Amino acid sequence: METGIHELTAGYALDALEPDERRAYEAHLSGCETCQEELASLSDVTEALAVAASGPVPRPELRERLLGAAHAEPQVVVPFESRSRRSVPVLSAVAAVAAVIAVGLGVWATQLSGDLDEARSALDSQRELAVVLADPEARTVALEQGQGRLVVDPDGRAVLALRGLGPAPAGKTYEVWVMEAGVPTRAGLFAGRHDADLVRVEEAVDDGDVVAVTIEAAGGVDAPTTQPIVASEPV
């Protein structure tokens, strides 16, 4: 098993792995110094292969388009206090994940600047969210209704990033739906916060689906009974 995964280094460097192998290798890589070193030693070669690719020069429009797209996703960075920099390695790993969350979404900094312990437990539960948010291949989908955005990775794992929703009314909850061709599937509940919510969509999201949020009775319901207060554009 171990030797098998080591053998994937060259394939990984060339992007010649299948998606599941790639993920397995990345999981292995974070804890394997041998593979990290080997991969680093191959990076000059793959860069040389990139330089050797013959191709036409890009149109000037590409530069404008790309910078315009970046501008449309403004960033706000978490200002980490000095005490968090001095913290134990586990916590700095969490802090790095937090930075990724904040950078990826551009907003959700405020909840991290409070008490560290609180932030830590909140972040533990958000690690899975961060995997989606940090994926450079994840797409950002705008919301047709509500403030925020939807981020969907190539496997259909999705995170809703919502701003200013506020806590759900007493006796009520927010419920997430994945609408496939207009048919809603339950995709999780959350309580809502004043500043920002990061919500894992608990169902896979495919091309053309819409992710929506309604206010429902506490405990959730099997089919929406109210109009959505949040709705994404079709993915």
Partner 1 sequence: MEVLAPTVLAFAHSEPAWSMRRQHAHLSDEALVALVARGDEPALAELYDRVGRVAYGLAFRVLRDERLAEDAVQEGFLGVWRTAAAFRAERAKASTWILTLVHRRAVDLVRREERRRAEPLPDELVARAGEAAEATDEAAWLRFERERVQAALAQLPDVQREALELAYYGGFSQSELSERLGVPLGTIKSRMFAGLARLRELLDESEQEGSWRPEFTS
Residues found near partner 1 in the complex (CB under 8 A): 7-11, 13-18, 36, 40-59, 62-63, 65-67, 69-71, 73-77, 96, 99-100, 102-104, 106, 133-134, 136-137, 154
Q: Which of residues 168 and 205 has its CB atom nearest to partner 1 in the complex?
A: 205
Q: Pairing state of beta strands 172-180 and 183-190?
A: antiparallel
Q: Which of residues 77 and 217 has its CB atom nearest to partner 1 in the complex?
A: 77
Smallest gap, in angstroms, from Cβ of residue 60 to partner 1? 11
Q: What are phi and psi of 176, to 5 degrees?
A: -95, 140
Contact 159, 129 (CB under 8 A): yes
Smallest gap, in angstroms, from Cβ of residue 149 to partner 1? 12
b/e code 64-93 from CB counts within 10 Å (16+ = b) = eeeeeeeeeeeeeebebeeebeeeeeebee
Smallest gap, in angstroms, from Cβ of residue 46 to partner 1? 7
What are the tokens at 144? 């047709």
Q: Which of residues 136 and 182 has its CB atom nearest to partner 1 in the complex?
A: 136
Q: How far lies 72's CA from each of 16, 83, 139, 169, 194, in Å?
A: 32, 33, 14, 33, 24
Q: Which of residues 81 and 222 has its CB atom nearest to partner 1 in the complex?
A: 81
Q: What are phi and psi of 232, to 5 degrees?
A: -85, 165
Cα 53 versus chain centre, distance: 31
Q: What are phi and psi of 209, to 5 degrees?
A: -70, 160
Q: Which of residues 55 and 182 has its CB atom nearest to partner 1 in the complex?
A: 55
Q: Which of residues 74 and 171 has its CB atom nearest to partner 1 in the complex?
A: 74
Smallest gap, in angstroms, from Cβ of residue 55 to partner 1? 3
How far is residue 153's CA from residue 135's CA, in Å, rounded to a whole number? Answer: 7
